[in-house]
Amino acid sequence: MSRKKRKKRSPRRRKKRRANRSYQERTRNGALFAEPYFAEVPMPLIVDAHADLAWNMLTYRRDYTRAAAETRQIEAGSKTVEENGDTLLGWPDYQRGQVCVVFSTLYVAPERWKLHETETQVYKDFQEANRLYRSQLDVYHRLTDDHPDKFRLIRSSSDLDLLLDHWQGEHLHPHSPAEKEHPVGLVILMEGGEGIRDLSELEEWHELGVRLIGPAWAGTRFCGGTKEPGPLTSDGKKLLGAMTDYNFILDLSHMDEASAVEALDTYEGPIVATHANCLALLPDYPTNRQLSDRVIRGLIERDGVLGLVPYSNFLKSGWTRKSGGRNEVPLEQFIAHIDHVCQMAGDSLHAGIGTDFDGGFGMQSVPPEIDTIADLQKLGPLLEARGYSLTDVENILGRNWLRHLKRELPDS
């Protein structure tokens, strides 16, 4: 498999321009769900840069070929809902919302952070972490093998082009009955990294389809992480050096600021943050989980993309499912985080979405306008009301991530 070498790029600066007609007008007066596709201007494609699908499938036996509504009926009153909330995800919901690509995680937690007795995806040592990561990777391979009409692994830019041809063919021929349903592309992201027992294993992980690596969840042997701050360690610096050989995309999410800043200065490969929000908009936020303007600015300078998270606890400091109601955190507060990134950049080329839906929270913990992931299409009119053009909306909902993947994935 051919691999791309990355050249460091200078950030681009563009002013936002309004389209000749409003977003609502160009999507048939804002009737986003009147029909699945629009004869004049289709709904923008969405990329979700973070979802713990395999973790849910193994922990709670969730079946993501089902609609979210069906899963909710099955799980009603169960321990799953108590621990993880009502699901927001399902293949039919991806179709309704035009979600074409999902960054699908390999996620396991250190045993010291185990929250529930039902959790099976926790590790005591690196050997166990490696075994669990591999079992989750097997889940994705089985899912795509068993349901190739619904899910496909995306390993290369060629894979991505084929997937987008499927989705965009419907845009070109909106009345063609053969293109009403589309496979969702899965890009594999390793979160935490402690399943990498030795750097020599990176080649195998790459061959198996892993394309992004986040060295942190909590603190790891590589760097400081959420609630466990610290810089890059000696092992972390060696990991970044070895990742460059395969052009792995580095995910800064969960990395402590000290380690993230150093990674921005030293990592020679591509850099993103798949799921984090803006610390500047969250006064008195109690942990190091969100990104400072310093890190966001560095990410923009490296031509990266930041996936913002529509999770109420990440939108209002101190909000919890038990103490706060959904109406306390409207979707407009999520728009504020998107706008903050765009204002810092001077353009709409660095903001994206990384929902983290079903990653320890569900429908009860997102803005009231969202029932499933399909409702992310509601972001369009809200962005337009702030002066964003249709092109800007397309960039933010998915095009920025697609552009980054096309540039950084292996050719074939």
Domain contains 107: yes
Q: What is the pLDDT of residue 179?
A: 52
Residue 135: the pLDDT is 98
What local confidence, expressed as pLDDT, does residue 118 receive?
A: 78
Looking at residue 18, its pLDDT comes to 34
Q: What is the DSSP letter of 122?
A: E
Would 81 be classed as within a structural domain?
yes
pLDDT value for 42: 77
Residue 242 lies in a domain: yes
> Is 158 domain-assigned?
yes
Residue 383: φ, ψ to 5°: -70, -40
Note the pLDDT of residue 172: 46
Domain-located, residue 18: no
Calpha distance 361→369 (Å, rounded): 16
User: How high is the pLDDT of residue 329?
Assistant: 98
Alpha-helical segments (H) within 16-113: 23-26, 53-59, 68-75, 79-84, 91-97
Query: How far, in Å, CA of 268 to CA of 326, rounded?
Result: 42
pLDDT at position 116, please?
A: 82
In a domain, 95, yes or no: yes
In which domain, by residue range, is 96 found?
A: 23-408
Report the number of distinct structural domains present in the chain: 1
Let me know if residue 370 belongs to a domain: yes
Q: Each residue's pLDDT tens digit in the chain (412 positions)?
A: 444 544 443 333 333 333 334 444 444 333 333 233 233 457 999 999 999 999 999 999 999 999 999 999 999 999 999 999 999 999 999 999 999 999 999 999 998 978 888 789 999 999 999 999 999 999 999 999 999 999 999 999 999 999 999 999 754 444 443 357 999 999 999 999 999 999 999 999 999 999 999 999 999 999 999 999 999 999 999 999 999 999 999 999 999 999 999 999 999 999 999 999 999 999 999 999 999 999 999 999 999 999 999 999 999 999 999 988 999 999 999 999 999 999 999 999 999 999 999 999 999 999 999 999 999 999 999 999 999 999 999 999 999 999 999 999 999 8
In a domain, 308, yes or no: yes
Sequence-ordered alpha helix ranges (H) in 218-330? 234-244, 257-266, 293-301
Distance (Å, whole) CA 310 – CA 379: 11
Domain of residue 137, CATH code: 3.20.20.140
User: Residue 364 and residue 86: Cα distance in Å, rounded?
Assistant: 7
Tell me the pTM: 0.90
